[in-house]
Amino acid sequence: MIIDIHGHYTTEPQALHAFRDKQLAGLLDSARKPATTDLRISDEALVKSVAPQLKFQKERGSDLTVFSPRASGMAHHVGSEAISAEWTRISNDLIHRICTLLPENFVGVGQLPQFPGAPPKNCIPELERIVKELGCVGVNLNPDPSGGNWSGPPLTDRSWYPLYEKLCELEVPAMIHVSSSCNPNFHATGAHYINGDTTAFMQLIQGNLFKDFPTLKFIIPHGGGAVPFHWGRYRGLAQDMKKPLLAEHLLKNVFFDTCVYHLPGIELMSKVIPVDNILFASEMVGAVKGIDPETGHYFDDTKRYIDQLKGLSEKDIHRIFEGNARRVYPRLDRLLAKRGKHGNK
């Protein structure tokens, strides 16, 4: 089974964008603020909107996408904490509806109602709702709700601890994923996303978070940002800080996905990062939508790169495509097992 653990709802109906525009306009003029009941999107429209993902799933040979709201659309720095909460609930409900309509193709991951300066513990009610009521198997966690200003505390700060306690209690991993950038110096998907991945990893090196939360699991997307390319630097920095070896310090809890859009990058990743810490993902339809003129294939058709890897065993490939996802997302594993799809562990 081919499980893509990183998919976003990037093909939403125009009605959702229109609602969001009105919601934000309401910040300046309360009379223009829409009611949540104003958003009417039929089941037929939802299924039609994800037709591109369904088409690519079939053509590229994946079976199931772990699906979450558009990352750049989370925009936690926009509006107010109340607006973030309302928008989050709406976005998560749409993901749930899609996963209910197309359960063989999608399983849900939710966003959190984060807001700059607001305590992370304020997100716990929505986290419990999306897991217990909507059946989400994971969550996206923004390490920088300020949208590029990095004004909040690092991921190792104790203010995050109540949220981490709940993640562990619910057996839910978190993908560390920033949202849109409000800083013109940082292109959203080309700089801000990669900065976020790299920054989060360095924060985790500097702390001792997993001593307090040994079962907490993070996925760092986009191949880990700069991390695999500079693995020696991070091992050396950890050593200088008198931290344990990275395998002991982080790699029981931190995982990386394969949203890397060329074969040499995937080859480097597979040589540097242990196979047990690599999860297949494509982020389609996401950051890069075009066709690579050097290969004639879509940049984000990442399965092709893994299929070309040399030196990995059949068991290794199974871990990347399925086994690691089922281990990191225990609720996903149990969901698939209920459907009669038992993984080879």
**Paired tokens of 17:** 């964008």
E-only strand ranges, 214-275? 218-220, 254-257
> Which residues, at least 6 apart from 62, have a Cβ–Cβ distance to it below 8 Å?
2, 3, 4, 56, 280, 282, 303
Closest CA to 53 of 107, 7, 114: 7
Long-range CB pairs of 289-292 (<8 Å, 24+ gap) are: 292/261, 292/262
How many angstroms separate the CA atoms of 222 and 260, rounded? 6
283 in active site: yes
Other CB atoms within 10 Å distance of the CB of residue 338: 8
Measured CA to CA, the distance from residue 202 to residue 46 in angstroms comes to 39
C-beta atoms surrounding 71 within 10 Å: 26
Residue in this structure with the two tokens 């089974």, named with its chain if needed: 1
- Structure-block tokens of residue 32: 């223009």
Catalytically annotated residue among 12, 126, 283, 322: 283
Nearest CA among 330, 325, 291 for reference residue 59: 291
Taking a C-beta distance cutoff of 8 angstroms, is the pair 138, 175 a contact?
yes
Q: How far apart are CA 53 and CA 58, in angstroms?
A: 9
Q: Angle 113-114-115 (CA atoms, 0-180°, nearest 5)?
A: 125
- For the chain, the first-to-last Cα distance in angstroms comes to 13
Kindly provide the residue ranges of all beta strands, DSSP E only, lying in 47-94, ordered along the sequence. 64-69
SS3 23: helix
Q: Is the dihedral of CA 16, 22, 26, 28 positive or negative?
A: positive
Residue numbers annotated as active site: 283
